[in-house]
Amino acid sequence: MATSIDPGLLVQLKKYGVKDAATCFNCGNCTAVCALSTEATPFPRKVIRYLQIGAADKLLHSPEPWLCYYCGECSETCPRDANPGEVMMGLRRYLTARYDRFGISRLFYTSTVFEIFAILFIAALVGLGFYAFHGPIITGRVALNQFAASHVIELLDLAMLAVLSFFLLTNARFMARAILGDPNHYQREGIQWNGIPLGIYLGELKVLLSHFLTQKKFKGCGSKEQRRQWIAHLLIMSGYSIIFILVVVFLRWFQHDGILPIWNPVRLLGYYATFALLYGTTYAFWGRLRKTKTVYKYSHSSDWAFLILLWLTTFTGILIHFAMLLEMPLATYTLYVIHMMIAIPMLVLEVPFAKWAHLLYRPLALYLLRVKERATA
């Protein structure tokens, strides 16, 4: 098959954070040390070679960047300082932009000006929305559900969920087609091909679910440090998923004027999610500031945007809780608006177009590989 070559690929990828790939001389050391690389899906050397020769199509069809969990082992042993671990990270950003049919991801990752503008623009829209449509401001007691009626917020949450799911699933469908390949490919390989039976897709859904819920491949590199990172990652993911479900599906139980009893499961889940998010984001923040670990040495602007938005969302959530405990109505309403002005841009931009989408793409890549393996067997 003819491979189309894009001579400007290496330059293009610099904007996604791929800085040192040109220095790689293809010794294969990185692939040899990578505990997650297999015979069927060897990496990172192979994809680095693709980007060096400008094989953009081959990169698009490669699931390998999603199989790397960035332990940094390969970067530490690379004789050319090509930083293969960070190259894989940059490729995940690049692929996220390639899967995105709406072009937002590309703008978000390649232009810091757009990134800041998009965050501020959505935040301003949310602020204006509250300014124009907030309910009565009751100052005698905390009446958050009067100020922002939970049934209205719940409806808006569900509408937002539908829109974000549409974007994310459209992009995920494109990713699936890219990884599974077109039917002609199988014919060329001499495989009799009648499409993938639905039973295989359904039968392997457990792979998707188990990897999505546990992100267990993360600890496959085996080092102590990698295990710590996996825990931080799992805390962020579980904390965020719990808050997301509480806010989008169970808001009328979660958003209360009074404080729920300490043993109430909704309050306990809220505490767990807050702790998990605060610990996970602070761990990553500290790591990126200190830069002592290989995986935190380089930070793309989108890494900072993600962490700052997530940390501030958590922190303002805690402040709202304290303002309510101290019975401070005006502080509660003000903090609530600020909280929404941070949380909503993060959701709108990060879930379908940036870092949160990775949470789906990683297990999806593993699932698609399993489906492909069974279908071609």
Give yes or no for residue 17 binding ligand SF4 (CB under 6 A).
Answer: no
- In whole angstroms, give the CA distance from residue 100 to residue 353: 7
> Of the two residues 29 and 170, which places its CB atom closer to ligand SF4 in the complex?
29
**Do residues 316 and 338 lie in contact, with contact meaning Cβ atoms separated by under 8 Å?**
yes
Number of residues that bind ligand SF4 (CB under 6 A): 28
Q: Distance between alpha carbon 238 and the CA centroid of its chain, in Å?
A: 13
Q: In the stretch 220-249, what mask flags binding to ligand SF4 with x, by CB under 6 A? A: -x----------------------------
Among residues 72, 82, 66, 36, which one has the least CA distance to residue 225?
72
| Distance in Å, CB of 141 to ligand SF4, minimum | 53
Q: Where are the alpha helices (DSSP H) in the chain?
A: 9-14, 29-33, 45-53, 56-60, 73-77, 84-99, 104-110, 112-133, 144-147, 150-180, 183-188, 198-203, 205-214, 224-248, 251-254, 265-290, 301-325, 329-353, 355-376
Q: Kindly identify the residues of this chain, within the stretch 24-43, that bind ligand SF4 according to CB under 6 A.
A: 24-30, 34, 36, 43
Q: Does 69 bind ligand SF4 (CB under 6 A)?
A: yes
Query: Between residues 38 and 376, which has the closer beta carbon with respect to ligand SF4?
Result: 38
Q: Is 371 in the site for ligand SF4 (CB under 6 A)?
A: no
Question: Least Å distance between CB 79 and ligand SF4?
Answer: 6
Q: Nearest to residue 218, comparing CAs of 358, 87, 373?
A: 358
Is residue 335 close enough to count as binding ligand SF4 by CB under 6 A?
A: no
> What is the dihedral sign for C-alpha 158, 163, 168, 174?
positive
Residue 8, class by beta-carbon neighbours within 10 Å (0-12 exposed, 13-18 middle, 19+ buried)? exposed
Q: Is 287 in the site for ligand SF4 (CB under 6 A)?
A: no
**167 vs 230, which CB is nearer to ligand SF4?**
230
Residue 142 sits at φ, ψ, to 5 deg, of: -80, 115
In whole angstroms, give the CA distance from residue 63 to residue 136.
52
**Which residues have C-beta within 8 Å of that of residue 199, sequence separation ≥ 6?**
none
| Residue 117, both tokens | 């503008």
Q: Provide, rounded to whole angstroms, the least separation between the CB of residue 30 and ligand SF4.
A: 3
Would you say 28 or 103 has its CB closer to ligand SF4?
28
Nearer to ligand SF4, 70 or 353 (CB): 70
Nearest Cα residue to 98 out of 135, 66, 53, 121: 66
Of 45 and 98, which has the nearer Cβ to ligand SF4?
45
- Is residue 345 at the binding interface for ligand SF4, with CB under 6 A as the rule? no
For 317, what's the count of Cα atoms within 13 Å in the CB-facing half-sphere?
25
In sequence order, what are the residues at sequence separation of 6 or more whose Cβ sits closer than 8 angstroms to the Cβ of residue 210? 216
73 is a site residue for ligand SF4 (CB under 6 A): yes
Nearer to ligand SF4, 63 or 72 (CB): 72
CB 140 to ligand SF4: min, Å: 57
Least Å distance between CB 226 and ligand SF4? 8
* Binder of ligand SF4 out of 9, 47, 51, 74 (CB under 6 A): 74
Measured CA to CA, the distance from residue 366 to residue 351 in angstroms comes to 20
Question: Out of 80, 134, 267, 293, which residue is the one contacting ligand SF4 (CB under 6 A)?
Answer: 80
Q: Is 118 in the site for ligand SF4 (CB under 6 A)?
A: no
Query: CB of residue 143 vs ligand SF4: minimum separation in angstroms?
Result: 51
Candidates 78, 236, 320, 360; binder of ligand SF4 (CB under 6 A) is 78
Instruction: Pick one of 59, 68, 360, 375: the residue that binds ligand SF4 (CB under 6 A).
Output: 68
- Residues of this chain that interact with ligand SF4 (CB under 6 A) are 24-30, 34, 36, 43-45, 48, 68-74, 78-80, 82, 84-85, 88, 221
